[in-house]
Amino acid sequence: MTNKTHFGFKSVNENEKASLVRGVFDSVASRYDVMNDLMSAGLHRMWKNELVAMLSPSAGQKILDVAGGTGDIAFRINEKADCSVTICDINWQMLREGKNRATDRNLREGLAWVCGDAESLPIPDASQDAYTIAFGIRNVTHIDKAIAEAHRVLKSGGRFMCLEFSHLPITPLQKLYDAYSFAAIPLIGKMVTGDADSYQYLVESIRKFPKQDDFATMIRAAGFEDVTYRNLSQGVVAIHSGWKI
């Protein structure tokens, strides 16, 4: 019997989800960053800046950025410190956008681009000083496997950091946020990319993602210690952190 998982609010076979998610990002890759600005009123830039500030990268570190195809996190790390950053994404279209952006910025040193699955990373054991993932982990089929892979590739003393959409603790605010998300974001997606369905999925996927405390429990279960999270924008997003000891 084939196991089921969610694709937004739909129930699909587990072996179908990765290709469905890939189709979403194939469709929106060329306008992905424009849509991020429109959907968040530019706040995604502040959230990503805060993730990298909390990471506080140091020169010489090896950092893996997963689901980071367009380079947003890697470029910020590159600006902060002379690190070696590997950008791993399951989607070639997103990686192509990131490579083009790196060329436009004349960024050639310290960046490597790898196509790979967060649940089965093409990265050696205990090889990375830090692992980052921004707005990507909710799209994997098995979140626990992705976190376990993060633990595997990190060195002892390495840090896991995840920026993801989350849940507002104040019910009236959550209701307002839901109303905006479901009414406006697919409409904006249709106007900008010609694709409302992909943004309907993205809105739904946020609601299916575990709440902050539940996700923190999953991170601990993978073997990470000193697990914490920090809400930003009242909990619209949260930054989760854990250490491999």
| Predicted confidence (pLDDT) per residue in 169-198, tens digit | 888 889 998 998 898 888 888 888 888 888
> Under CATH, which number does the domain 4-243 receive?
3.40.50.150
pLDDT exceeds cutoff 70 at 211: yes
Residue type, 241: S
Q: What is the mean pLDDT of the chain?
A: 92
Cα separation, 47 vs 10, in Å, equals: 29
- Residue whose C-alpha is closest to residue 6's, from 126, 123, 129, 141: 141
- Of the pLDDT bands very low, low, confident and very high (cuts 50, 70, 90), residue 1 is low
Give the lowest-confidence range in 116-120, 147-151, 205-209, 223-227: 205-209
In tens, the pLDDT along 4-40 reads 898 888 888 988 888 887 777 777 776 777 777 877 8
Helix (H, G, I), strand (E, B) or coil at 97: helix
Q: Residue 42 — pLDDT band, cuts 50, 70, 90?
A: confident
pLDDT reading at 233 higher than 80: yes
Q: CB 181: neighbour CB atoms within 10 A?
A: 20
This model's pTM is above 0.85: yes
Residues of 54-89 as b/e, b for ≥16 C-beta within 10 angstroms? ebebeeebbbbbbbbbbbbbbbbbbebbebbbbbbb
Please state the separation of Cα 27 from the chain's center in Å.
17
Band (pLDDT 50/70/90 cuts) for residue 140 is: very high
CA-nearest of 93, 206, 72, 197 to 139 is 206
40 Cβ contact list (under 8 Å, min separation 6): 47
CA 203 – CA 184 distance, rounded (Å): 10
> Per the structure block, which two tokens stand in for 28?
């929106």
Question: 112 pLDDT exceeds 80?
Answer: yes
- 138 HSE (CA, 13 A, CB side): 25
CA distance 23 to 40: 23
